[in-house]
Amino acid sequence: MRERRVEVLTALLGTPAERASWWRAPGRVNLIGDHTDYCDGYVLPMAIDRDCLVAAAPGPPGGAVRVTAVSADCEGAVDVRADGRGDSAAVEPPWGRFVAGTLAALAALGARVPATRLAVASTVPVGSGLSSSSALAVALMLALADRSGFVLDRRALARAALDAEVRATGVPGGLMDQLAALFGRAGHALLIDCRSLAIRPVALPRTLAVVVVHSGLPRTLAGSAYAERRAACEAAAARLGIVALRDATPDQVRDDPRARHVVSENARVLEFAAALRAGDVNALGPLLLASHRSLRDDFEVSTPELDLLVEVLVDAGALGARLTGAGFGGCVVALVQRNHADDLVAKAVTRYRAASGLEPMAFTARAVGAAGRVDLAGLS
């Protein structure tokens, strides 16, 4: 794997590998806490061992940023103005909009990016709910900020990467994905307070495996009801006269399903993190299942396929499972006993494939460290 990626990216850059700078940003799986980040709430993601890799080198004269992508879901080449001017959302192919958005976000901060050549390769599945777009935006932001000599702390980098992503997609996301990529810690999930941006690593039990299963049903936030759900949460907070649903009580939202999900999900995130710290493994599964029911029934972002995946995983022996990410397709995350993970996943996938007619993709996710610069020996 390392040799293949080094050779491909080096050939595309036309530059000896040791003369390029190399940057990686991981995807993430959210263990619990969805549609809470933009409500100033709590989330518990972990950075995973699927990542976006960007190699950067000086570019040809003319002030352009030339990018070549070589992933199965993201390939081709694009030239974008280094000054960030123009409509990011109009760039083709669509993945090039993230390059344009990153350059525009940096320009808005006062950075000047010189002519640059970039090569991009990603192992984060697109449309999976595992934050492929944010991994791309963070990796691009790290590479291009470095090329410009512009220094940002990690929280400012997260905000800039979110700005780039919004410019590229038009989807008003929260900061969870970018923070997870930039603050990941091996063997840990991250309890993130999305109001204060305080981040507390929480160790994961070594006896459990985090299993991710793609439903085979891709989701696209720009074409989903994501923005509608966010608007409903903001409207509910306005009706209650509070800054965000983070401040609402269960009694205040009892008759509003969208708001009820946010309030109950925030409580579940804190309970889940407390159970991890206490080593109370038995409490984790029921919280995952309660989260899925809330996302399905109150927030209405599940699908029959995701519901089926949760069912077959639990029937096969998972402690608990839930959709992860924004919903409308993508992935389910499950906690399983590590020594039974392979057999459990094989049984669940076989049953799901037969019942749905879709082709799932399953893997065990490992919690990894934060995005940043890598040397050739660290590429994998």
Cα distances (Å, whole numbers) of residue 9 to 145, 358, 374: 20, 33, 14
The CA distance from 203 to 200, in Å, is 10
Check residue 165 and give its pLDDT.
93
Tokens of 22: 């190399």
Per-position DSSP letters for 209-272, written without gaps between them:
EEEEEE-S----GGGSSHHHHHHHHHHHHHHHTSSSGGG--TTTTTT-HHHHHHHHHHHHHHHH
Backbone angles phi, psi at 149, to 5 degrees: 75, 20
Map residue 114 onto helix, strand or coil.
coil
pLDDT (average), residues 85-112: 91
pLDDT value at residue 245 = 98
Could you give the CA distance from residue 324 to residue 263 in angstroms, rounded to a whole number?
Answer: 17
Determine the pLDDT at residue 125: 79
Q: Are the C-beta atoms of residues 327 and 295 closer than 8 Å to each other?
A: yes
Tracing tokens 């994961």 back to the chain, one arrives at 204
pLDDT at position 303 over 90: yes
Side by side, which strands form the sheet with 331-337? 320-324, 331-337, 208-214, 361-365
Per the model's pLDDT, the better-predicted residue between 16 and 131 turns out to be: 131
**Element at 331 (helix H, strand E):** strand 331-337
pLDDT-derived band of residue 222, with 50, 70 and 90 as boundaries?
very low
Question: Is it true that domain 2-194+368-378 has CATH number 3.30.230.10?
Answer: yes
pLDDT in tens, 31-56: 999 999 999 999 999 999 999 999 99
Report pLDDT digits (tens) over 364-379. Answer: 999 999 999 997 665 5
The dihedrals phi and psi of 73, each to the nearest 5 degrees, come to -90, 0
Catalytic positions are 177
Q: Which range has highest mean pLDDT (33-47, 79-93, 167-181)?
A: 33-47
Between 223 and 61, the more confident residue is: 61
Provide the H-helix boundaries in the chain.
2-13, 96-108, 132-148, 154-169, 176-183, 226-240, 257-278, 284-297, 304-316, 341-356
Measure the CA dihedral 227/230/235/240, to 10°.
180
Cβ neighbors of 380 (< 8 A, separation 6 or more) are 1, 2
pLDDT at 282: 97
Tokens of 39: 């409500």
Report pLDDT for 370.
98
Reply yes or no on whether the pLDDT at 7 is more than 90. Answer: no
Enter the pTM of the model: 0.92
pLDDT at 171 over 70: yes
Q: Which fold has domain 204-365?
A: Alpha-Beta Plaits (3.30.70)
Q: Say what percent of the chain tops pLDDT 70.
A: 92
Q: Pairing mode, if any, of strands 74-81 and 42-58?
A: unpaired
What proportions of the chain, in percent to the nearest 5, are helix, strand and coil? Answer: 45, 25, 30
**pLDDT tens by residue, 137-163:** 999 999 999 999 999 999 999 999 999
The yes-or-no verdict on residue 249 having pLDDT over 80 is yes
- Locate the domains of the chain by residue range: 2-194+368-378, 204-365
- Tens of pLDDT, residue by residue over 260-287, are 999 999 999 999 999 999 999 999 999 9
Q: What is the pLDDT of residues 313-356, one digit of tens each?
A: 999 999 999 999 888 888 999 999 999 999 999 999 999 999 99
Residue 246 pLDDT > 90: yes
221, pLDDT greater than 70? no
What pLDDT score was predicted for residue 73? 66
Give the SS3 label for residue 338: helix
Residues in the chain: 380
Pairing relation of β-strands 64-71 and 116-122?
Answer: parallel
pLDDT, tens digit, for every residue of 109-142?
999 999 999 999 888 877 777 888 999 999 999 9
SS3 167: helix
- Confidence band for 88, pLDDT divided at 50, 70 and 90: confident
Please tell me if the domain spanning 2-194+368-378 has the same topology as the one spanning 204-365.
no
Residue 126: per-residue pLDDT:
78
